[in-house]
């Protein structure tokens, strides 16, 4: 079965926009202000540049253009499996907590770090997925240097930076669980 692709609209269609009723449209029979087309033209130009306009502030940069979203998929290491199974908490929850802690202290750099060759846990259900926002300027430099054709996924370019932090957090959580268990025993 072939799915119909819905085209992405990248710029406003002025003919369509002018056919819609205006909020501040003059009553029928009165002349139209020449200000409304100017406001629309400024808004459409701003939309193409990725900025927003407001009457008070003038043009300003859209917050979404400053960062990009990267889909992240992490799992524990094979050597961490026994600790995850013995800790008494669902392994996926421990990995998710470790990912949250790692992302808080992670600062992406433009230096490429290749993924380590350590074996990941074999349990696919433990894989935690989320997305993180990273500064677009830093990621663009990383992309330009290591994937100029754009064939790799975003995650593959930052994986070597983030995964070791997540694994260190998993180790820290497992150590805390062991200390707590030893203290109560």
Q: At what angle do helices 154-184 and 136-146 cross, to 10 degrees?
A: 120
Q: Within 90-149, where are the H helices?
A: 91-105, 136-146
pLDDT in tens, 78-133: 999 999 999 989 999 999 999 999 999 999 999 999 998 999 998 889 999 999 99
Q: How far apart are CA 166 and CA 102, in angstroms?
A: 5
Mean pLDDT, residues 19-45 taken together: 50
Pick the CATH number of 66-184 from 1.10.1220, 2.60.40, 1.10.3470, 3.30.70: 1.10.1220
Q: What is residue 70's three-state secondary structure? A: strand
Mean pLDDT, residues 14-31 taken together: 56
Q: How far apart are CA 55 and CA 68, in angstroms?
A: 28
CA nearest to 113, candidates 169, 71, 165, 150: 165
Q: H or E stretch including 117? A: none
Predicted pLDDT at 154: 92
Task: Select the highest-mean-pLDDT range: 34-38, 62-66, 125-129.
Answer: 125-129
* Domain coordinates in residue numbering, the chain: 14-61, 66-184
pLDDT in tens, 136-176: 999 999 999 999 888 999 999 999 999 999 999 999 999 99
Q: Reply yes or no on whether the pLDDT at 32 is more than 60.
A: no
Q: Are the CB atoms for 40 and 17 separated by under 8 Å?
A: yes
Q: Rounded to two decimals, what is the model's pTM?
A: 0.63
């Amino acid at each position: 079965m072939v799915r119909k692709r819905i085209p992405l609209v990248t710029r406003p269609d002025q003919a369509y926009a002018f056919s819609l009723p205006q909020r501040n449209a003059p009553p029928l029979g009165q002349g139209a202000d020449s200000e409304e087309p100017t406001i629309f033209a400024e808004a459409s130009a701003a939309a193409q540049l990725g900025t927003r306009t407001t009457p008070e502030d003038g043009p300003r940069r859209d917050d979404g253009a400053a960062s990009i979203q990267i889909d992240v998929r992490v799992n524990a290491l094979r050597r961490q499996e026994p600790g995850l199974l013995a800790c008494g908490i669902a392994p996926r929850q421990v990995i998710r907590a470790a990912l949250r802690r790692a992302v808080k202290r992670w600062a992406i750099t433009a230096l490429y770090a290749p993924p380590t060759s350590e074996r990941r846990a074999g349990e696919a259900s433990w894989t935690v997925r989320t997305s993180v926002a990273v500064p677009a300027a830093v990621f663009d430099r990383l992309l330009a240097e290591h994937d100029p054709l754009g064939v790799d996924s975003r995650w593959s370019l930052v994986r070597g930076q983030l995964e070791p932090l997540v694994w260190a957090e998993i180790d820290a959580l497992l150590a805390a669980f062991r200390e707590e268990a030893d203290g109560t025993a």
